[in-house]
Structures are given as C-alpha cells and as structure tokens.
Structure 1
C-alpha cells in the first residue's frame, strides 16, 4: 500500500518463470480482476476486502478472469470500455496455450465504462488508449 493505493501482486508461472499480474485497489475501486487461474487465491482477498465497484482496463484474460466470481458473489458494477462488453459476456474464445496459462474465464455481464468514474473521494477521468 502506498498513499492509499493497494497493489495486489499475483504470480503466474509461464514457462517455469513467474509473471506478475497486478490488481489495484483505491478508494473502494478495484482495478482489474486478474486471471481465472488465480481465483482461489483472490477469493479470500475479495471476501476480506471492502470495495464498491470494479473497472476493467481491457478484456484480456489476465485482467478479467475473476470478474464472473465478483458478479455472482458481490453486488456491484463491473465496468469496461464498450468494445469489451460483448466479448466478456460470451464464453472465452482464446488459444489453448492462453487457457493453460491464465485459466478459462467465465462469461459475465459488464456495464459500459463512461468518461469518468466516481469513488468516495475522487473523480477519475477515463483515457481510452486503443
């Protein structure tokens, strides 16, 4: 934790080497949900931590992998850029090596991320970077 920003650093083994997957928590906002393969590790964090909304930076499997668990178990908005809504609402469709590395994320129903996100103390500007 640094100045009220908590970084959750999870490790995934890729080719025998650890690769980091980061989630951030600031002012009740969870940024990204990590990979499905990390779900068991992250559930205890989710159950012990207070947050009110989730923003997904993009729809890759290492960023949205546990969003379906949050959707089923926590009552809060999960937001993503409009281009990610349809792909995330369907079963994962990516190559086997990626499924083996990150796990197979379940479909979930995100909402459209607007131009700003408000938390208790901040108003965040969303910058689209295709």
Structure 2
C-alpha cells in the first residue's frame, strides 16, 4: 500500500505525509513540508516518485534536512539531481551523507535507504517569503538533529523532536537527557504551530511540546532515583510499571523499544557524573 496525503496549514505551508507497506496500512508514515520553493525534509526513498513529483510541482530549489535518518533524507539526492535543488543540513548530517551508511532490516523495509548527497552548510538564518527561518541545533534524537523556526509566523518545523505527548519507545542511540535540554531550548521560543515529521500540531504546539518535556523529565527523574539506589535497569522498568510494545521491539531488532528509554537515562546520568 502506498499512501500520499496533502494537508494545508496556515501561511501557505503545505504538508505531505508518505507511507509504504507491502500490504495493509504503513507502519509509520512521515511528513515533509513545502512553502516558497522550500522543502523541509524529503520523505523516504520507498516513496521516491511521489516525493519528486511534489518537489517538481512546487519548483523546489532548497531542501532543509532536520537530520540524516532515512525517512527524512531519503530523497535528497534524487531531488538534487533532478531539479538542481541545494540540500542544506547540519555539519554532522553533511558528514553522514557523504557515503552510504548501514541501517537495520526494518529500516530497509519501512523506509528504504538514503543515497549519498552533498549537503551545504547552513547560514545563521535563511530568508524566505515567511520571513527569516532560523536553524536550531537540537540533539538527543540524533546528534545532528535540527529544528527550523519562523519567528514572524510562530512556526517550528520540529523534525523528530516532538513525536507525541508521551513516548512509547526510544531508539537505542537516543540520549534522553540531551533531548530534554533541546526541548527546553525550543520552549524558550515564541511559537504556536509545531510541524512535526510524524504528528503535526497546528495549534497549541508549545503546550504539546511542554507536555512531552514533562513526561521525559518525570521518566528520567524516576529512573535515576531508582538507579541511585542500585536497582538494575530491567527492575527499574518493572518498578515504574512501563509496558513494552513487543511487536515493535522485535520487528525493529531491539533498536526501538521502551526499555531503551531507561537505558538512555542511565547512560546520560553516568556520563554527566563522570564529567563532574
């Protein structure tokens, strides 16, 4: 099944959600956004034809990546080669996309691979028809993660910083403590529209982001409180009453699970403790 839906947001911003599966509804669809010949992320290579057609229809000449993950960067090379669009991203994104990188079988199935592409460095701010757009480094979900902020319109393109008010699973390489810091950084901004790559919030975006921060801070604090008492990670998971989605965990080869959140909190705490 192939899914391609279009959404209209304020200020002429268009959102497109793409999803793919062999049969039945896609496991995880992904949004990208277009305005003023600008594209925020590109969608997954499993939906290359749809992504390129949308970029061509809107005469996209600049693509801004939130991070290197294949559901965000998957069609960057295609759009660059077909339309001559310049691809921008964080310096770490540029290094990651210089050559092919390994992904797990579930990532191949759900999204497909990313073709290497030259990524241009980002200026301090970008001029658009909606005013200045400011890239802000927000690591935690990935080291290279960015959000893009339109202060004049109160819009944040948040990539994978938000995802939901409560998080049901974490990638093995996520850093919860760093993500908490990134959430606080974005919450210091003045905005109302949160255009997430999987769960956009057209209104009350700041409140939704605050709810996620509250959730993560509670989970982090509860985890570390038990860890300091010598409780092992698996027992922390049980004590906190957390429930694992075993289908997701095993389908993703353990790379995505809720216990990864407990491990991430402990890893961040121990790293900070050693630094001090």
| TM-score, length of structure 1 as denominator length | 0.89
The equivalent of 2:93 in structure 1 is 84
CA displacement 1:3-42 (0-9 Å, x = unmatched): 2010011123399542221010122210000111110222
Q: State the distance in 1 between where 2:128 and 2:38 align.
A: 7
The equivalent of 1:123 in structure 2 is 132
Q: State the distance in 2 between where 1:28 and 1:8 align.
A: 14
The equivalent of 1:10 in structure 2 is 18
Q: Secondary structure at the residue paired with 1:105?
A: coil
The equivalent of 1:25 in structure 2 is 34
Higher strand residue share: 1
Unpaired runs of 5+ residues, structure 2, are 1-7, 140-276
Q: Which moved more, 1:45-54 or 1:12-21?
A: 12-21
Unpaired runs of 5+ residues, structure 1, are none
The equivalent of 2:44 in structure 1 is 35
Higher RCO (Cα < 8 Å, 6 or more apart): 1
The equivalent of 1:69 in structure 2 is 78
Pairing 1:105–2:109 present: no
Matched-pair contact (CA < 8 Å) for 2:37–2:58:
no
Higher helix residue share: 2
| TM-score, length of structure 2 as denominator length | 0.44
Which has the greater radius of gyration?
A: 2
CA displacement 1:73-114 (0-9 Å, x = unmatched): 112321001111011111132112211221122111111123
Q: CA deviation at 1:121?
A: 4.2
Q: State the distance in 1 between where 2:119 and 2:103 align.
A: 19
Q: State the distance in 2 between where 1:126 and 1:81 align.
A: 9
The equivalent of 2:144 in structure 1 is none
- Cα RMSD of the aligned pairs, angstroms, is 1.8
Q: State the distance in 2 between where 1:100 and 1:9 align.
A: 17
| 105 and 22 in structure 1: CA distance in 2 versus 1, 3 angstrom threshold | same
Matched-pair contact (CA < 8 Å) for 1:115–1:127:
no
